[in-house]
Amino acid sequence: MENLRILFIGPAGAGKGTQAAKLAEEFKLEHISTGDLIRNEIKSESALGREVKAIVERGELVSDDIVNEIVKDKLQTTNRFLLDGYPRTLEQAKFLAEVSPLDYIFALNVRKEILVERLSGRRMCSKTQDPNCKGMFHILFTPPKIEGQCDLCGSELYQRKDDNPEIIEKRLNSYETETGLPLTEFYNKYKSGKFIELDAELSPDEVYKNITQSLAQAVV
């Protein structure tokens, strides 16, 4: 099959994961996230995998160099992929540019106040651990039938500590500084692929339509 190498850039709450999963399925792309790659590397019990396992077991973060190495190995096995969550830094973007060209870079843009609204409205079932209820709601978009109560099991809902507006804003600011701005600048000047900025404040269906239209136009 023809090359199709795509990168998604966007902060938490921009809907990146949802769009990526849908696109990967429709276009038969390998959906590559670094978390999965690291888990697979450990499972493979390769020399690198054993090294990574030891790092993770010590509770340390896997270094940029190792993540780069794992991504590089993976990209050598496929010419149809969708990268999601990598690169995270300008250095990783430069490394990636040496390892593999990209055909499309999609940036999912959402204003910060909208992201905070999206992320701070999440409510989880208090029984997510025991007995492992999957209840997850959003006070604006997918509210529970009874306020504060899980539709699936009737238990109380709670807000994760990380979903508090102040913490969310801090997280979004550091994303912008370390990832969002440097990568946008980098890919704006990038020669090999097409850089496309999307309004991700639109509904998920509209965003998806805009993505697939950009792909279709380029094929013609």
Identify the bridge partners of residue 158 per DSSP, sorted by sequence position: 124
Closest approach of Zn ion to the CB of residue 203, in Å: 27
**Beta strand pairing call for 157-158 and 122-125:** antiparallel
Give the per-residue contact string, 91-130, with Zn ion (x = CB under 5 A; - = no).
Answer: ----------------------------------x-x---
Give the per-residue contact string, 32-71, with Zn ion (x = CB under 5 A; - = no).
Answer: ----------------------------------------
Q: Which of 133, 183, 198, 207 binds Zn ion (CB under 5 A)?
A: 133
Instruction: Please confirm, yes or no, whether 16 is among the known catalytic residues.
Output: yes
For residues 129 and 156, give the distance between their C-alpha atoms in angstroms, rounded to a whole number: 13
Indicate whether 144 belongs to the interface with Zn ion (CB under 5 A). no
Q: Which of 152, 158, 181, 199 binds Zn ion (CB under 5 A)?
A: 152
For residues 202 and 207, give the distance between their C-alpha atoms in angstroms, rounded to a whole number: 6
Tokens (6 digits) for 188: 């704006």
Closest approach of Zn ion to the CB of residue 157, in Å: 8
84 by DSSP, 3-state: which? strand
Question: Tokens 């010590």 map to which residue?
Answer: 58
Contacts of 208 (CB under 8 A, 6+ apart): 19, 22, 23
Neighbours of 211 (CB within 10 A): 23
Closest approach of Zn ion to the CB of residue 151, in Å: 8
Indicate whether 23 belongs to the interface with Zn ion (CB under 5 A). no
- Kindly list the residues in this chain that would bind Zn ion in the complex (CB under 5 A): 125, 127, 133, 135, 150, 152-153, 155
